[in-house]
Amino acid sequence: MDEFSFINSIKQSYYRQPTLIKGIGDDGAVIRQISKDIVMAVDTFVEDVHFSRKTVPLHSIGYRALAANISDLAAMAATPAFFLVSIVIPPSWSEDEILTIFEGMKEHASLYQMDLIGGDTVSGKELSISITVIGYTNKRQTSWRSHASEGDIVFVTGTLGDAQAGFHMLMNDGNYKSKAYFIKRHQRPSPRINVARELGKLPRVALNDVSDGIANEAAEIAEASNVNIILYEDRIPVSADFEQFPKDLQEQWKYFGGEDFELLGTVSEENWDIVEDIAQKTNVNITKIGYVKRPSKGAGLVYLQHNNGKILLSKDEYTHFK
């Protein structure tokens, strides 16, 4: 594979972002931004760890990899603007296959007017895609994990567990209901950028995107804010046909499944009506699923409240690398 011609084939013919001074084609990209804050995040996807050609078409591998990054920007209430892609390519992959992955990324990027402004292409034994995203926030709009406070309402957008259910359907033949819906949630997730931008305008909001399951995401907010979070077992939103799966899988997926790229957040009770307005305006369901409590000692814990009392949501499920 010739690196020069490869870069030419992924290079955009024009750039959309007015703040870009220099895109692909030099030692670095250059951005000029005066009035907004710049948000940055990076995520890496390894073949057969984070995705598989068996369950996701090449185009969707790219679409989904960028989704995970855009979702990080959503959790920061940022507007996506740029991305850089560093890719490790094994000899068994053809240039056409790699270009198809890039097409998937670029299709997703175009929904947000994002520009591909740099990257690196190297050879290796294992396909891995590392994406750096850059977005903008207004200076007074922050949605940090540390913003949760005693008495806050805990909410989540959309439904949980769908992406894992879709993955399960792809791995296990069967006669499933709403198969296309669940598979799409796995292969081509939609990060909640529009909702996040509205939520970011609240006087105080904590946001985390559900990449590793809400048990993990809630714990991150609880730790950063030095509070505990209590979730109501019977309020976790799931989609209509989610109940077709065995109970233990449902439990596993909705608390620990991840990759739904929904948003988990906390707001003060007095701002809840604004959240309801945002849900209506953006046409996205937002569900009250719990509350924030400041413990007398210790913090950073997540409890599941059910009929017979509270149980601690275990961390074991999500504290190891994946």
- Judged by CB under 8 A, which of 13, 18, 28, 308 binds a second copy? 28
Nearer to a second copy, 45 or 245 (CB): 45
Cα–Cα separations (whole angstroms), residue 82 to 22, 31, 38, 86, 169: 12, 10, 11, 14, 34
| 140 in contact with a second copy (CB under 8 A) | no
| 80 in contact with a second copy (CB under 8 A) | no
Residue spans of beta strands (DSSP E) within 204-252: 206-209, 228-232
Q: Which range, of 139-147, 166-174, 185-193, 197-205, touches a second copy by CB under 8 A?
A: 139-147
| 134 in contact with a second copy (CB under 8 A) | yes
What amino acid is encoded at 103 in this protein? E
Nearer to a second copy, 46 or 274 (CB): 46
Q: Which residues contact 45 (CB under 8 A, 6 or more apart)?
A: 51, 61, 65, 68, 128, 129, 130, 131
| 137 in contact with a second copy (CB under 8 A) | yes
- Judged by CB under 8 A, which of 51, 61, 79, 142 binds a second copy? 142
Residue 71 CB, nearest approach to a second copy (Å): 8
Q: Are the CB atoms for 36 and 137 separated by under 8 Å?
A: yes
Residue spans of beta strands (DSSP E) within 36-105: 37-46, 79-89
Measuring CA to CA, which residue among 178, 154, 169, 177 is closest to residue 262?
154
- Judged by CB under 8 A, which of 50, 168, 185, 186 binds a second copy? 50
Nearer to a second copy, 144 or 232 (CB): 144
Q: Which residues contact 19 (CB under 8 A, 6 or more apart)?
A: 31, 32, 33, 81
| 122 in contact with a second copy (CB under 8 A) | yes
Q: Which range, of 134-142, 157-165, 286-294, 301-309, touches a second copy by CB under 8 A?
A: 134-142
Span 151-190, contacts to a second copy by CB under 8 A: none
- Judged by CB under 8 A, which of 13, 14, 21, 309 binds a second copy? 21
Measuring CA to CA, which residue among 196, 147, 153 is closest to residue 287?
153
Q: How many residues bind a second copy (CB under 8 A)?
A: 69
Phi, psi (rounded to 5 degrees) for 173: -60, 150
Please state the length of the chain.
322
Contact residues toward a second copy (CB under 8 A) are: 1-4, 6, 21-22, 25-34, 37-46, 49-50, 72-73, 75-76, 78, 84, 86-89, 117-126, 128, 130, 132-135, 137, 139, 142, 144-146, 207-209, 224, 319-322
